[in-house]
């Protein structure tokens, strides 16, 4: 059992249980062995006129605490080298409000990270910033990661006459890219970039399956600056990545990320609604492939200018800020560009072609993709998918099946062009 405590500086106990990790929210305890979450952020929000409700503020305290636990608890220290058992105690401003949602939140985190979570909601959270409320001239929120899907999502909303507040999570070099995209979309003045600011000494867990919760938490706080209710939060992600079917049998559960999986988003929506937060999560492209998103983008000229500047790679940092060209996200990106039009992809990849690409740095993703395509060819899509679509209600299953079939076709076309099939 890995134990983590996240609370205010004032409620931090004088001594910690043996092996327990501790973090303080928004202020440093200046104690050896105690980490910090989003130091100074609360004060900055107050200065900017952000005044979230107590429920919204506790939601971000929950999200950031989960992110901290996800980073400090090493999968390598677990019994099977992957699945962790985490006991997380979170100081909240109004913890009793969360008591009925304890089991739901634990189950939701199990879906997201693949771990076993035990949550304790206790007194000790920081009170919400009480800035002078200032609303922005926006009518929705759109997540802007610096990826291709989020760029297309922003383009389409603006083309529809919407006025999105663009919300980004700071991410090293992507931060500058996010600002460039926001400026290109004409939304630089209504672009928010926030960081979870999680700091601690020691080794960090690199899998970060829970990192997306900070993104959703930031969206809820940003929504407090938009008039009207409920506030739509658009999550621009193609359907193939949303469902993220395991290409080979070994890549099940949390071995394939579920950041935007419809089942997780549904559970998150249920939690938000149960807490009384007027937020409506939207997955507008859950029935579209990445290639279809590019083909149907409302402003093709703008997409042509910026598409290659977006990031997709799962190993971007390890390749010195360059797309590897062979991981699953890179292959889906390449396949999408190919579907958009041959010769349009000017992205610089470490491996421009999948043929002969070096697999020494990680899993053999091209081989996994080839095996998946061959299985679909020989045994059919349904045999390949197995129980992948069990989460979907019958009325939606056919649409999900179609987007996965189309996504596999885009991958197949790439493998054929590169000579792997």
Cα–Cα distance for residue pair 166/170, rounded to 1 Å: 13
For residue 21, report the phi and psi dihedrals to the nearest 5 degrees: -95, 145
User: Tokens 């739901």 map to which residue?
Assistant: 104
Cα–Cα distance for residue pair 409/376, rounded to 1 Å: 10
Beta carbons of 174 and 145 less than 8 angstroms apart: yes
User: Tokens 């493998």 map to which residue?
Assistant: 415
Burial degree of 193 (CB within 10 A; 0-12, 13-18, 19+): middle
Per-residue pLDDT of the chain (421 residues; tens, 9 = 90+): 999 999 999 999 999 988 899 999 999 999 999 999 999 999 999 999 999 999 999 999 999 999 999 999 999 999 999 999 999 999 999 999 999 999 999 999 999 999 999 999 999 999 999 988 888 999 999 999 999 999 999 999 999 999 999 999 987 667 889 999 999 999 776 999 999 999 999 999 988 888 899 999 999 999 999 988 899 999 999 999 999 998 876 554 434 678 999 999 999 999 999 999 999 999 999 999 999 999 999 999 999 999 999 999 877 777 778 999 999 999 999 999 999 998 899 999 999 999 877 665 556 889 999 999 999 999 999 999 999 999 999 999 999 999 999 999 999 999 999 999 8
Per-residue pLDDT, 194: 96
Beta carbons of 289 and 406 less than 8 angstroms apart: yes
Q: Cα separations (Å) of 347 from 147, 179, 201, 334, 343?
A: 13, 19, 36, 9, 11
Per-residue pLDDT, 173: 66
Please report the domains of the chain, with CATH numbers, ordered by start residue: 2-123 (no CATH), 140-282 (3.40.50.620), 312-417 (no CATH)
């Amino acid at each position: 059992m890995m134990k983590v405590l996240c609370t205010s500086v004032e409620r931090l106990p004088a001594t910690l249980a043996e092996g327990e990790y501790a973090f303080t929210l928004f202020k440093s305890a200046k104690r050896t062995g105690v980490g910090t979450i989003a130091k100074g952020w609360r004060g900055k929000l107050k200065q900017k006129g952000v005044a979230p409700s107590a429920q919204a503020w506790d939601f971000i305290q929950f999200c950031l605490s989960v992110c901290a636990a996800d980073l400090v608890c090493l999968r390598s220290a677990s019994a099977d080298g992957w699945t962790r058992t985490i006991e997380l105690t979170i100081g909240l401003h109004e913890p009793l409000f969360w008591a009925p949602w304890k089991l739901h939140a634990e189950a939701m985190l199990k879906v997201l990270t693949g771990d076993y979570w035990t949550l304790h909601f206790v007194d000790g959270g920081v009170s919400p910033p009480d800035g002078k409320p200032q609303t922005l001239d926006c009518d929705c929120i759109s997540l802007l990661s610096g990826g291709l899907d989020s760029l297309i999502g922003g383009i389409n909303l603006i083309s529809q006459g919407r006025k999105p507040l663009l919300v980004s999570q700071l991410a090293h070099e992507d931060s500058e890219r996010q600002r460039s995209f926001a400026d290109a979309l004409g939304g630089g003045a209504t672009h928010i970039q926030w960081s979870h600011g999680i700091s601690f000494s020691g080794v960090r867990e690199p899998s970060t399956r829970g990192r997306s919760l900070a993104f959703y938490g930031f969206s809820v706080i940003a929504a407090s600056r938009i008039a009207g209710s409920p506030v739509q939060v658009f999550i621009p992600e193609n359907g193939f990545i949303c469902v993220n079917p395991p290409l080979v049998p070994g890549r099940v559960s949390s071995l394939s990320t579920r950041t935007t999986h419809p089942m997780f988003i549904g559970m998150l929506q249920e939690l938000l609604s149960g807490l009384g937060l007027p937020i409506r999560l939207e997955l507008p492209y859950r029935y579209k492939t990445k290639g279809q998103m590019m083909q149907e983008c409302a402003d093709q000229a703008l997409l042509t200018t910026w598409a290659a500047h977006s990031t997709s790679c799962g190993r971007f940092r390890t390749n010195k800020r360059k797309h590897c060209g062979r991981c699953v996200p890179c292959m889906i990106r390449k396949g999408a560009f190919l579907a958009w039009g041959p010769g349009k992809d000017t992205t610089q990849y470490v491996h421009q072609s999948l043929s002969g690409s070096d697999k020494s740095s990680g899993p053999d993703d091209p081989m996994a993709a080839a095996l998946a395509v061959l299985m679909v060819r020989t045994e059919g899509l349904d045999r390949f998918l197995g129980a992948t679509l069990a989460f979907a209600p019958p009325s939606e299953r056919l649409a999900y099946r179609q987007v996965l079939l189309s996504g596999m076709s885009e991958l197949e076309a790439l493998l054929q062009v590169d000579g792997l099939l």
